Amino acid sequence: MRVATFNHQGVSPARVPQFLTVEEVAAMLRLKTRTVYEMVSQNRIPFRKAGRRTVFLLEEILAWTATPQKERS
- Other CB atoms closer than 10 Å to residue 56's CB: what's the count? 22
Q: pLDDT tens for residues 2-51?
A: 555 455 555 555 667 799 999 999 999 999 999 999 999 999 999 999 99
> What domain count does the chain have?
1
Question: Can you give the pTM of this predicted structure?
Answer: 0.75
| Domain-located, residue 23 | yes
| Domain-located, residue 46 | yes
Quick one: pLDDT at residue 7? 54
DSSP H helix total and E strand total for the chain:
3, 3
Name the residue range of residue 27's domain: 17-71
| Domain-located, residue 48 | yes
Quick one: pLDDT at residue 70? 79
Task: Write the CATH number for 49.
Answer: 1.10.10
* CA diameter of the chain: 42
- Reported as a pLDDT band with limits 50, 70 and 90, residue 71 is confident
| Domain-located, residue 28 | yes
Quick one: pLDDT at residue 32? 98
Nearest to 47 by CA among 64, 28, 29, 69: 64
For residue 67, which phi and psi values (nearest 5 degrees)?
-80, 135
| Domain-located, residue 26 | yes
Please measure the distance between the N-terminal and C-terminal CA atoms of the chain and give it in whole angstroms.
Answer: 26
